[in-house]
């Protein structure tokens, strides 16, 4: 089922990757408006409820380190399909949870299953596209999957009001089941060859060790990680700050997050239009500058004139910068990695990204309850760390080459 070498890539392939990524994003955003209500519903506290987010992201991160070698050993298609099937089952388990402990367990397993798409999407893009094509596809990819975090909290808020928090996970299971059915019919195998030794422990350890020692690869991967730390700080703390702190109605909270995702959409559109005019590193630099401005702006906003609107404006500038960053940095990181073992290099990028997301979510959860200050502090720190990682990357890396 491999696409013909050198031939045109079917638009169905990125479309399926986009659908899978959207479902994965919905696994966090869809139920976000329910978070402030879960302590009372499940007889727990807010800190424990935030573990359903941070531990989900931690398992999402760590599982990718295994999914990458699995994708090199068995191929992209079978690993993807098994992951999507498990995703459906864990969403049903979360919907059926009777206690906070059961919900946390289901969310951990959901992270393991949902992380498959992150590895496979980047590996498939590397399999099929050169540097310019990969940046363009990742920019389009970012614009389209931005729809999910934009509409997810809006849908989730109304679903919570109409049918309760469990209905969000049943809805998610239905979406993922549809993705599975489409992928079973249309997703081809894109790996150039099967690496039968990819799961040997020494090979796995050596492959990851070489990537950790690769300064350029790690710098760009960490820039992405710090970007997601800021994103998930907002996703986790935003509902508490806006709904509990400023009295925003649960069903309307999603519109504030929609504005932030719209800014990300604009950023990815800028990146897409810049391809061919400026190189990937300059596209990345634009994203770094915008994110730094937005992250640092949150400090005076919270100190001097805190309001949902001003917090949203600063967070939107941060998110606009992530559009160019997430279009260009993965390509630059993969270009600096060895040509072989695309699954491993894709897996480590995804793992570090979600580890950053987990730390961002955990950070706002464990910091002292001080209104919007934990959110502002984590996002500002994330923006500074993005800049430092970009500066550490130095040169532009090697171009990504399409497989022959």
Closest CA to 179 of 354, 25, 1: 25
For residue 1, being part of any structural domain is answered with no
Structure tokens at 182: 């489409």
Question: 168 in a domain, yes or no?
Answer: yes
Residue 7 in domain:
no
- Per residue of the chain (404 residues), give pLDDT as tens: 454 444 566 778 888 888 888 888 888 778 888 988 999 999 999 889 989 988 998 898 889 888 888 988 898 899 999 999 999 999 999 999 999 999 999 999 999 999 898 888 888 887 887 777 777 777 777 666 667 767 888 899 899 999 999 999 999 999 999 999 999 988 888 887 888 887 888 888 888 899 999 999 999 999 999 999 998 899 888 888 898 888 888 888 888 888 888 898 899 888 888 877 888 889 999 999 999 999 999 999 999 988 899 999 999 999 999 999 988 998 899 888 765 556 778 788 888 988 898 889 888 887 777 688 999 999 999 999 999 999 999 854 444 444 44
Residue 85 falls inside a structural domain:
yes
Asked whether residue 389 is assigned to any structural domain, the reply reads: yes
> Which pLDDT score is estimated for 341?
54
Kindly report the number of other CB atoms within 10 A of residue 9's CB atom: 18
Q: What is the pLDDT of residue 396?
A: 46
For the chain, what is the domain count? 1
- What pLDDT is recorded for position 41? 93
Q: What is the pLDDT of residue 397?
A: 46
For residue 326, what are the domain limits?
Answer: 12-191+202-393
CA distance 218 to 340: 17
Instruction: Give a yes or no: residue 113 inside a domain.
Output: yes
Q: What is the CATH number of the domain that holds 108?
A: 1.20.1250.20
Is 3 a domain residue? Answer: no
**Assigned domain for 403 exists:** no
Tokens for 363, please give them.
């950070």
pLDDT given for residue 310 in this prediction: 94
């Amino acid at each position: 089922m491999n696409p013909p070498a050198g031939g045109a890539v079917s638009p169905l392939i990125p479309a399926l990757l986009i659908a899978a990524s959207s479902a994965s994003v919905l696994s966090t955003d869809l139920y976000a408006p329910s978070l402030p209500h879960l302590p009372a519903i499940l007889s727990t506290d807010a800190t424990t409820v935030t573990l359903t987010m941070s531990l989900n992201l931690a398992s999402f991160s760590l599982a990718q380190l295994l999914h990458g070698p699995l994708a090199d050993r068995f191929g992209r298609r079978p690993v993807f399909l098994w992951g999507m099937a498990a995703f459906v089952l864990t969403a049903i388990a979360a919907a059926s949870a009777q206690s906070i402990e059961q919900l946390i367990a289901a969310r951990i397993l959901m992270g393991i299953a949902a992380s498959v798409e992150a590895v496979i999407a980047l590996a498939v893009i590397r399999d099929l596209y050169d540097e310019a094509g990969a940046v363009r596809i990742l920019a389009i990819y970012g614009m389209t999957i931005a729809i999910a975090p934009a509409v997810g909290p809006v849908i989730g808020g109304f679903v919570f009001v109409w049918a309760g928090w469990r209905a969000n996970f049943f809805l998610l299971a239905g979406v993922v089941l549809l993705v599975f059915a489409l992928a079973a019919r249309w997703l081809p195998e894109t790996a150039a060859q099967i690496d039968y030794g990819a799961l040997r422990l020494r090979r796995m350890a050596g492959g990851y060790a070489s990537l950790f020692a690769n300064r350029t690869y790690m710098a760009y991967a960490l820039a992405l990680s710090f970007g997601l730390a800021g994103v998930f700080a907002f996703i986790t703390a935003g509902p508490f700050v806006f709904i509990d702190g400023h009295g925003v109605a649960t069903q309307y909270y999603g519109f504030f997050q929609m504005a932030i995702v719209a800014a990300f959409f604009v950023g990815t559109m800028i990146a897409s239009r810049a391809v061919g005019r400026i190189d990937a590193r300059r596209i990345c630099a634009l994203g770094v500058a915008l994110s730094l401005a937005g992250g640092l702006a949150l400090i005076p906003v919270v100190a001097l004139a805190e309001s949902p609107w001003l917090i949203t404006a600063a967070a939107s500038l941060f998110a606009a910068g992530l559009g160019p960053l997430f279009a260009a940095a993965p390509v630059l990181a993969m270009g600096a990695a060895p040509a072989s073992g695309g699954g491993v290099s894709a897996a480590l990028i995804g793992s570090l990204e979600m580890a950053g997301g987990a730390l961002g979510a955990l950070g706002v959860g464990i910091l002292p309850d001080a209104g919007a200050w934990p959110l502002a502090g984590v996002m500002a720190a994330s923006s500074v760390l993005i800049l430092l990682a970009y500066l550490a990357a130095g040169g532009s890396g090697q171009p990504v080459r399409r497989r022959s």
